[in-house]
Chain A
């Protein structure tokens, strides 16, 4: 009995101390601003790895999600004879919700896990500690460019996802199922507001990008430096990022679109 209480208390302390370490870690990364001359090329390299290489999966999923929305929306809306409203349905769902959320989930699986594994292996092979020996701060040299790259790439990916998805929805709705093109775009334009809908979606994706890359680099930096530890850290990155994205999405939606 006593052992269980002790174990519970130990678990609580572990969780709290890991939050504390991740906060101190984030402060260290953000405050240690790299010099522009050396930092910028590193950032570009990470943007390529995190952003450009994720483009293929984001475009393909965006296209298919837009097409499925078009198909599903058409079957439901045509029951009420209002299939012209398909444009606004696709645009609002993508721009407000699916664009930021699905991109963040894909981003966590595609880029976040890679970041964790890379940094974890650097730690396991003691590259990070040898950097420290040489007087190079690994937080600035290794972690900061990766965190900033995720932070910058995620909104760009989410915007591309939404745009491609709307195009895919138009492909199915207008070109295949024969919804009148004028009312497709007209309904969409009258119901989607740039500041309310598009910009709030962008703000969501900025938050998600920050949270996903923070979790990814922290899990890599904090992992147990063994092969089992790296595998556990990679799993944790994907699970925690997905949960954080879905939970934060509810909170952000309640703040942005809830009427209270």
Chain B
């Protein structure tokens, strides 16, 4: 086999490898070529975040509208302070909306659901949710039920 034929076959081999990597990137891991969306930050204080994790989703009416950036402890109030990044095109969330921690399915991961309020003003960068509802804690629920409270 001539040197040229070998070079062409090896070139095809490398191209096949790149094509497979592209397949893994686009079709399997769903990596979209468009850049990350613009977001703005809002905050919410919870008494108990349960199993909430960073990179979890924030949704309204079941549609994902943002992600959870970080969860930290407020040292003054001993509450958890959750930072959320909301997509910029969702810019009309009423200011009196509340953030609720829900679980998807019985054993699924936890996410924040925004229940829409009725205020004319809307949340902007740096605002904090006025009302929140903490994660449902199954153990506490059973404990309350058993002790009759």
User: Could you tell me if A198 and B28 are in contact, using CB atoms closer than 8 angstroms?
Assistant: yes
Question: Interface size bucket, B side?
Answer: 10 to 19
Please state if B10 and A188 are interface contacts (CB–CB under 8 Å): no
Leading 4 A-B pairs by shortest Cβ distance: A189-B30, A156-B17, A163-B20, A194-B29
The contact string, 1 if C-beta is below 8 Å from chain B, for chain A 94-123, is: 010000000000000000000000000000
**A159-195 CB contacts (< 8 Å) to partner B:** 159-160, 162-164, 166, 185, 188-190, 192-194
Determine, out of A29-37, A47-55, A68-76, A221-229, the stretch whose residues face the partner at the interface.
A47-55
Q: Which residues of A contact B17 (CB under 8 A)?
A: 155-157, 159-160
Contact of B31 with A by CB under 8 A: yes
Stretch of B1-9, B83-91, B124-132, B135-143 at the chain-chain interface: B1-9
Q: Is A23 an interface residue (CB 8 A)?
A: no
Kindly state whether residue B73 has any CB partner on chain A within 8 Å.
Answer: no
The answer to the question of B78 belonging to the interface, with a C-beta cut-off of 8 Å to chain A, is no
A166 touches B28 (CB 8 A): yes
**Which partner residue on chain B sits nearest A190 by CB separation?**
B30
A44 at the interface (CB under 8 A from B): yes
Chain B interfacial positions (CB closer than 8 Å to A)? 3, 6-7, 9-10, 13-14, 16-17, 20-21, 23-25, 27-31
Is there contact, CB below 8 Å, between A48 and B28?
no
Quick one: given A45-B6, A51-B13, are A159 and B21 in contact (CB under 8 Å)? Answer: yes
A51, B21: Cα distance in complex, Å = 16
**Contact A198:B25 (CB < 8 A) given known A159-B20, A160-B20:** yes
**Chain B residue contacts of A55, Cβ below 8 A:** 13, 16
Q: Are B28 and A91 in contact (CB under 8 A)?
A: yes
Tally the A-B contacts, defined by beta carbons under 8 Å. 70
A41 touches B (CB below 8 Å) = yes
Which residue of chain A has the shortest Cβ distance to B30 in the bound complex? Answer: A189
Given contacts A189-B29, A190-B30, contact A163 B23 (CB under 8 A): yes
Q: Is the interface of B mostly helix, strand, loop or mixed?
A: helix
Measured in the bound complex, the distance between the Cα atoms of B9 and A44 in whole Å is 10
Cα distance A157–B10 when bound, in Å?
12
A83: CB under 8 A from chain B?
Answer: no
List chain B residues, Cβ under 8 A from A164.
20
Contacts of B23 in A (CB 8 A): 163
A162 vs chain B, min Cβ distance (A): 6
Chain B residue contacts of A192, Cβ below 8 A: 28-30
**Who on chain B is nearest to A47 by CB?**
B10
Residues of A near B21 (CB, < 8 A) are 159, 198, 202
For A153, the chain B residues whose CB sits under 8 A away are: 13
Q: Are A52 and B20 in contact (CB under 8 A)?
A: no
How far apart are the CA atoms of A188 and B21 in the complex, in Å? 16
Contact yes or no, A194 B31, CB < 8 A: yes
Distance of A62 from chain B, by nearest CB (Å): 10
Q: Find the residue from B6, B10, B14 having the highest chain A CB count within 10 A.
A: B10
B41 → chain A, closest Cβ, in Å? 23
